[in-house]
Structure 1
């Protein structure tokens, strides 16, 4: 038996109707069931008698303004900014932001060329040089911090033969460090620090 409804949506007679439920906030299709509708009562809130279309992967049916529309659905997926690699997790129905892509970059130096990520060789080289320069500065400081007290011991004629040998080894090491060309990074053959 088909239930008829008046202009206010109330059943004109009691019966069972197939009801299609949707989320009251997003309009997303939630499912259907058969409801017993008493005479004079309307269907439950956030539901309709109109069926959505067929399921489609990556899409979701949304009910709005009295009709179903099939919308893109990327919720739960990670997208990457084509400007700065910033990541977002898609949380809402609809397409991702236009400057985000699903393809993940493979390095911190990747840039988007319009269809794929490519390595910015200049940025990669600059980062390697900056890292090598920082490493050189650290090593030189370590050498100087080790040399200073050894030199004091020699200057005050208090150094042992072992301390004199260590001073010479650390000074040679410091000279070799000053000759390291960081512009060749990451291909640097660092001199070996003396052992204590």
Structure 2
């Protein structure tokens, strides 16, 4: 069997810790320190353990929701900062046509942010609206 390596390292698994991978120099210089209970991994075994690690480290639904809400709130704060002076200009009859157009775009963006929860796969997959430039 050809040894599977990445970056000059070969990889071992520990049957007692099925989601752990241990890396050793592929040139054999560290072989004396490899516990006999470790199993040399081929690419398939390495990929399987990496998949287990990814699943173990995947965020919970509550973490996904919390992260999405925090990002949304941050973007809403930015939108509020952009909307306020444009709305002031409109309220004081000092808005240019460009101000009015920008105000509409920023308000549409803010509405889209507030409707994220209506997306089908929210919060696992979010189609974030693009902020006006």
TM-score, reference length from structure 1: 0.41
> CA offset at residue 101 of structure 1?
6.8
> RMSD of the TM alignment (CA)?
4.3
Instruction: Report which of the two has the higher share of strand.
Output: 1
For the structure 1 residues 154 and 111, does the alpha-carbon distance in structure 2 shift closer, same or farther, using more than 3 Å as the test?
A: same
Mapping of residues 1-196 of structure 1, within 5 Å:
76-79=9-12, 82=17, 85=20, 87-89=22-24, 91-96=30-35, 102=41, 103-105=45-47, 110-111=51-52, 120=55, 123=58, 126=61, 129=65, 132-181=68-117, 184-194=122-132, 196=133
Q: How far apart, in 2, do the equivalents of 1:164 and 1:101 lie? A: 66
Which stretches in structure 1 are left out of the alignment for 5+ residues? Answer: 1-57, 59-75, 113-118
Which stretches in structure 2 are left out of the alignment for 5+ residues? Answer: 4-8
Paired position in structure 2 for 1:14: none
Structure with larger RCO (C-alpha < 8 A, sep 6+):
2
Larger C-alpha radius of gyration, 1 or 2? 1
Q: Are 1:177 and 1:190, in contact at CA under 8 Å, matched by a contact in 2? A: yes
Instruction: Report which of the two has the higher share of helix.
Output: 2
